[in-house]
Amino acid sequence: MSDATFRPATEETPLARRLLITLVVLGLGLLVLAPLVVVFVEALRQGVGEALASLTHRDAWAAIRLTLTIAAISVPLNAIFGVAAAWFITKFDFRGKAVLITLIDLPFSVSPVVAGLCIVLTFGANTAIGGWLVGQGYPIVFAMPGIILATMFVTFPFVARELIPVMIEQGRAEEEAALTLGAGGWRVFWTVTLPNIRWALLYGVLLCNARAMGEFGAVAVVSGKIRGQTATIPTTIEMLYQEYLSVAAFTLAAVLALLALVTLLLKTLLELRHADQLAATHRH
């Protein structure tokens, strides 16, 4: 480097920067963006018109509606759980904390297929609980509650796992100070904790939502895959692909990817709009 410009001591050399950026772009490109490109190329293979036409089908709409409904129910529930669990784990000291965290992580290590199996073993028509519920007219498996349970199971740890490291990093000092000043529990949570964790929470909810909409394995086991009734977007995609209707299948997959991109856009917009507000709370 002949043109030795001023470089702050807290930054890497330009060469290292460029190298790292190239590496990251290449890695993400090969592994993640390329499959996405495949999805869109396959969807648009026969033109935009054909792709859009495949979406107007009754079953495609039913699947989109069902998936959105399921996400709208399971994601908020998991968000509430995540905040409660993170609070419990980071604000208190108790024995067995590592075990509890591991139990919360457990759904990640359970193959989605096994997760579906677990729910069938618990609530299937041949089990005690399931048989009783069916007798009362509330079937779980092969109906919406089963799909919601499977989705919640698979996405269970997301929010908690995003919040715990951040809340550990922040410690308890701020909350303790607020308490000393006489603030009540909820007030401390809303005015001190929540502003500190809002981005992590948003990330968590976002990931939870994306995964909830895209879950396939667990849902496939408990849904019965009845078109227009219990077929979610991913199960419908699989069915369409099996029917050699690859344009329709990949269009629906593109819709799912776009839904994820919309939530990401929403997040970015929120960040931009509230940037000054956020900075203000940091300055106090």
Q: Considering only residues 161-180, where is the footprint of other proteins by CB under 8 A?
A: 161-162, 164-166, 168-172, 175-176, 179
Closest CA to 150 of 224, 229, 252, 74: 74
CB of 73 to other proteins, least distance (A): 6
Contacting other proteins within 70-109 (CB under 8 A): 71-73, 76-77, 80-81, 84-85, 87-89, 91-95, 97-109
- Number of chain positions touching other proteins (CB under 8 A): 148
Pick the piece of the chain touching other proteins (CB under 8 A) from 48-56, 198-206, 274-282: 198-206
Give yes or no for residue 12 binding other proteins (CB under 8 A): yes
Max Cα separation, the chain? 81
Q: Does 47 bind other proteins (CB under 8 A)?
A: no
- How does DSSP classify residue 280? H
Using the rule CB under 8 A, which residue among 134, 159, 205, 248 binds other proteins?
134
Choices 27-35, 47-55, 276-284 (CB under 8 A): range interacting with other proteins: 27-35
**Residues 219, 229, 211, 102: is their CA dihedral positive or negative?**
negative
d(C-alpha 22, C-alpha 131), whole Å: 57
DSSP category for residue 225: T
The residue from 53, 55, 117, 278 that contacts other proteins (CB under 8 A) is 117
Identify which of 117, 204, 99 has the alpha carbon closest to the alpha carbon of residue 155. 204
- Minimum CB separation from other proteins for residue 35, in Å? 4
CA dist., res. 17 & res. 29, Å (int) = 18
Q: Does 153 bind other proteins (CB under 8 A)?
A: yes
Tokens, residue 108: 């990640």
For 204, counting Cβ atoms within 10 Å of its Cβ (0-12 exposed, 13-18 middle, 19+ buried), the class is buried
What part of residues 211-250 is at the interface with other proteins (CB under 8 A)?
A: 211, 213-217, 220, 224-230, 233-234, 237-239, 241-244, 250
195 binds other proteins (CB under 8 A): no
